[in-house]
């Protein structure tokens, strides 16, 4: 079913959230509404924008746009994958649009990727309207589980799923609706329990330091209370409110320096990447002085 969306007025989509970024919004000009429906879990909108290609919106919040999605997909994928010495088994929670999967399978060392997505509607619509992102969902290394990510991790912890992972990527929506549980301490504890020794977790932090640094401090406190190592980095994505999105990367291996890659892309691998490189890997952890003090609680550099 297609139709007009309440966030579209006079040809402009506007993203507003009084809870997460009060007093500001973000707008894109709409060329055509491609799809609007209510799935079992959330409001789903896909529209063609005049300048950023097709855009996926869940519960009124932009998830990705064709023009700039690679900046997010590459950083949330390659920062943990290159920080790990030899990732073979990868778990992706959320990310039914397929963008993270597309990036993960670029690593020859990865033998298996498990995608856990609660809403099949997101997968179906991404394959229809975001084919450049969903292009690897049928890759032979990829296994798709249509279920709740939180319950999936509980099953791993209870050994109902006898598997552990080298890298876990939490590509969730913002902490509202079905994704709210992904930002609680219990979730971080379940992530830790699902890792192999030396494993790495990365999660989109929803906010960045321009929007709600107090919230980030709380998330970092949770991460530090669960993992031996926890660091904050960020990527720049114009279609995310304020143009920046934070990522929290964690490991229980205190010897790991998550801020620098253990492996470097080959020239062939680097040639197909648009955003990630070893220099930006490290640079993404370097924060402005005021933000570093508040998020990391220190006055020195990285």
Q: Give the pLDDT score at 17.
A: 76
Higher pLDDT, 161 or 250: 250
Q: How confident is the model at residue 298 (pLDDT cuts 50, 70, 90)?
A: low
Per DSSP, the three-state class of 160 is coil
Q: How high does pLDDT run on average in the chain? A: 91
Contact call for residues 150 and 181 (beta carbons, < 8 A): yes
Q: Which of 171, 253, 257, 271 is the catalytic position?
A: 171
pLDDT the model gives residue 137? 98
- Percentage helix, strand, coil, to 5, in the chain? 30, 30, 40
- The residues with which 38 forms a beta bridge, in sequence order, are 43
User: Scanning the structure block, which residue is given the tokens 């993960």?
Assistant: 104
Task: Count the neighbouring beta carbons within 10 Å of the beta carbon of residue 42.
Answer: 20
pLDDT at 18: 73
DSSP state, 222? H
Return the percentage of the chain with pLDDT > 90, whole number: 78
CA 101 to chain centre: 11
Q: What is the pTM of this model?
A: 0.93
Return the pLDDT at 299.
Answer: 53
Q: Tell me the pLDDT tens digit for each residue of 40-69.
A: 999 999 999 999 999 999 999 999 999 999
Q: Taking the CA atoms of the chain, what radius of gyration do you get in angstroms?
A: 18
Return phi, psi of residue 178, to 5°.
-65, -15
Which residues make Cβ contacts (< 8 Å) with residue 152, sequence separation at least 6?
93, 116, 145, 161
Q: Does the structure show a pLDDT above 50 at 216?
A: yes
DSSP labels, 24-73: -EEEEEEEEEEEEEE-SSSEEEEEEESSS-EEEEETTEEEEETTTHHHHH
Residue 14: other Cβ atoms inside 10 A: 12
Q: What is the mean pLDDT of residues 106-118?
A: 97
| Mean pLDDT across 195-209 | 92
Cα 76 to Cα 244: distance, rounded to the nearest angstrom: 13
Q: How many CA atoms lie within 13 Å of 69's alpha carbon, on the beta-carbon side?
A: 26
The tens digit of pLDDT for each residue in 65-107 reads 999 999 999 999 999 999 999 999 999 999 999 999 999 999 9
Say if CB 181 and CB 191 are below 8 A apart: no
Annotated catalytic residue 43: no
The length of the chain in residues reads 302
pLDDT at 2 over 80: no
Report which DSSP code applies to 157: H
The single-letter DSSP state of residue 184 is S
Closest by CA to 79, choosing from 283, 261, 256, is 261
Ranges 27-41, 56-70, 146-160, 219-233: which has the least confidence: 146-160
What is the residue-wise DSSP string for 260-301? S-SS---HHHHHT-SS--HHHHHHTT---HHHHHHHH--SS-
Structural domains of the chain ordered from first start: 8-65 (2.30.140.10), 69-296 (3.40.50.150)
Q: What does the alpha-carbon distance between residue 302 and residue 32 come to, in Å, rounded to a whole number? A: 45
By percentage, how much of the chain surpasses pLDDT 70?
93
Q: Residue 140: is it exposed, middle or buried by C-beta count within 10 angstroms (0-12/13-18/19+)?
A: exposed
| Structure confidence by residue, pLDDT tens digits, 160-194 | 788 999 999 999 755 444 445 555 888 999 999 99
What is the per-residue pLDDT for 9? 93
Residue 40: how many CB atoms within 10 A of its CB?
9
């Amino acid at each position: 079913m297609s139709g007009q969306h309440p966030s579209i007025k006079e040809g402009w989509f506007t993203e507003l959230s009084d809870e997460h970024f009060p007093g500001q919004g973000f707008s894109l000009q709409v060329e055509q509404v491609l799809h609007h429906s209510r799935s079992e879990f959330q409001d789903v909108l896909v529209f063609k924008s005049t300048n950023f290609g097709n855009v996926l919106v869940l519960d009124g919040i932009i998830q990705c746009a064709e023009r700039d999605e690679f900046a997010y997909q590459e950083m949330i994928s390659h920062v943990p994958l290159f920080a790990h010495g030899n990732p073979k088994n990868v778990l992706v929670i959320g990310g039914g649009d397929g963008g993270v999967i597309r990036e993960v399978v670029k690593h020859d060392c990865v033998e298996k990727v498990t995608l856990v997505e609660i809403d099949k509607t997101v997968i179906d619509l991404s394959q229809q309207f975001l084919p450049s992102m969903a292009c690897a969902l049928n890759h032979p290394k990829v296994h798709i589980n249509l279920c709740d990510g939180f319950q999936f991790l509980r099953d791993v912890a209870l050994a109902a799923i006898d598997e552990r992972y080298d890298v876990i990527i939490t590509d969730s929506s913002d902490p509202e609706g079905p994704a709210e549980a992904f930002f609680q301490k219990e979730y971080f504890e379940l992530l830790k329990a699902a890792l192999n020794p030396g494993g790495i977790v990365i999660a989109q932090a929803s906010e960045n330091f321009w929007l709600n640094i107090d919230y980030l401090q709380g998330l970092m406190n949770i991460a530090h209370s669960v993992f031996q190592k926890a660091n904050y980095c960020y990527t720049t994505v114009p279609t995310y409110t304020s143009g920046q999105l934070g990522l929290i990367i964690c490991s229980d291996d205190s010897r790991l320096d998550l801020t620098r890659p253990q492996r470097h892309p080959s020239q062939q691998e680097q040639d197909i990447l648009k955003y990630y490189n070893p220099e930006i890997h490290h640079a993404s952890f370097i924060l402005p002085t005021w933000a570093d003090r508040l998020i990391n609680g220190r006055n020195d550099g990285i």
